[in-house]
Amino acid sequence: MPRHHQKKNSAPGGGSQRQLRVGEQVRHAMAEILAQGNVHDADLEGHIITVPEVRMSPDLKLATVYVMPLGGHDTAVVIAALERNKKFLRGEVARRVNLKFAPDLRFRVDERFDEAERIEKLLRTPAVQKDLEQDLEQDPETDREEER
């Protein structure tokens, strides 16, 4: 009777070490391609695009590229332009990253910056500030350090 083993990801939310390593190589290649301006598209020429993360599928045949235009403006236009030039970008990535198969590329907007800003605004609200001040006043660790 065959036994089926399920692989557990060693890194939470990121995949295996191999996925992380290859994703980082693809990220560097994509960032270099976009920084050099090798993609000749009118919609991309006026934008500086950052590539904060690339997630690879377990078989390394699919790369989800998270991008963010500088300032967060025109994200839909930039994603559409990258999708139009997907074939060229895939070829460039294949030349720069030594893999058996060139991964298919999917482009997504990186929303971590928006989420971080939302959390920062939440932490600056008066209600949260009040709670933080109360916690500092009632923290027994702080009292012990003051007695020393």
Q: Which residue shows structure tokens 């916690």?
A: 135
For residues 133-141, average pLDDT: 69
Can you tell me whether residue 59 is helix, strand or coil?
Answer: coil
pLDDT single digits (tens) 1-46: 555 555 554 445 568 899 999 999 999 999 999 888 888 888 888 7
Decide if domain 17-110 falls under CATH 3.30.300.20. yes
pLDDT of residue 26: 94
pLDDT of residue 63: 94
Q: In terms of Cα–Cα distance, which of 26, 78, 81, 23 is closest to 48?
A: 78
